[in-house]
Structure 1
Amino acid sequence: MRIDKYLWCIRYYKTRNIATEACKKGHITINGQPAKPSRDVFATDKITVRKDQINYKLTVLDIPPNRVGAKLVDIYRKDETPAEAFEHLELLKLSKDYYRAKGTGRPTKKDRRDLDDYSDDIDDDFLSGEENEI
């Protein structure tokens, strides 16, 4: 079975066209080699999928006859993605929530108060001499 069709069948991509584009962009590797969309997949192949800033590591257990339901996906693949990858994604989401993009308008009252509190804390530390205790 083709790699783009396999990734679509085990529900890593919503459409085959999206899976094909991911292959063309080099986001898919099979056994460490970049994969073209037409590359065949066999049992015991190691697949790496770069999606949403996570490198998913999969092992092919079997080839599905067609697209399978979400509950049956584990029959055809073994997910070996490390837990650190998902923790890293959570940290990225948290940092993006707090980060304010340039040009998004004036700061809100809450933003201004947070900045004032932060600068007051720095001034207090500086005046108390904590900075010089290195």
Structure 2
Amino acid sequence: MARDEEQPAGQARQRIDKWLFFARLRKSRSLAAKSVEAGDVRVNDLAIRQPSYAVRPGDVVVLSLERHDMVVKVLQTGERRGPYEEARLLYSDMTPPPPPREERNLFAQATRERGAGRPTKRERREIDRLHDYPGEGDD
């Protein structure tokens, strides 16, 4: 089969770095290649480190992002990096929803209750008095 001939739709394959770029899951193809080389991408539960790894429709791709993992199923290969509406047709998002707030691990990420920001100057002075720390104004 010559390179110029099109493959049947069921046999279409595409490089993972190119597909991540076309699907708008990475901002550039070079960033997609770097994330693959760093081990941030898994295809069908197989850790891959080569940007030339070929994906095909039906493959499940797990992409590790900063704060969560994204699980997508490849629906088709891309021809170009088009608008979001076009890129969204390349995959199906299978990422599980986050657990309810009370079931989350409290030690996974430091969080504060809403409105409980940094103490005010007055509150800090009261805390210092409780701990018997000498403050600037205490002589």
Give me the TM-score of the superposition, normalised by structure 2: 0.64
Aligned residue number for residue 52 of structure 1 = 66
Sequence identity percentage: 25
Give me the TM-score of the superposition, normalised by structure 1: 0.66
Report if the CA contact (8 A) 1:6-1:63 is conserved: yes
SS in 2 for 1:84: coil
What is the distance in 2 between the residues matched to 1:40 and 1:7?
11
What is the distance in 1 between the residues matched to 2:100 and 2:77?
27
Aligned residue number for residue 109 of structure 1 = 121
Count residues with an aligned counterpart. Answer: 107
What is the distance in 2 between the residues matched to 1:14 and 1:21?
12
Q: What is the Cα-based RMSD across aligned positions, in Å?
A: 3.1
What is the distance in 2 between the residues matched to 1:41 and 1:66?
16
2:27 to 3, 10, 14: 14
Say which structure is richer in helix.
1
Report if the CA contact (8 A) 1:55-1:85 is conserved: no
**Residue 107 (structure 2) pairs with residue 69 (structure 1):** no
Aligned residue number for residue 40 of structure 1 = 54
Aligned residue number for residue 104 of structure 1 = none
Unaligned runs of 5+ in 2: 1-13, 131-139
Residue 68 of structure 1 and its aligned partner are, at CA, apart by 2.1
Report if the CA contact (8 A) 1:54-1:85 is conserved: no
Unaligned runs of 5+ in 1: 101-106, 120-134
Corresponding letter in the other structure for 1:83: P
Report if the CA contact (8 A) 2:59-2:74 is conserved: yes
Residue 99 of structure 1 and its aligned partner are, at CA, apart by 8.6
Report if the CA contact (8 A) 2:21-2:81 is conserved: yes
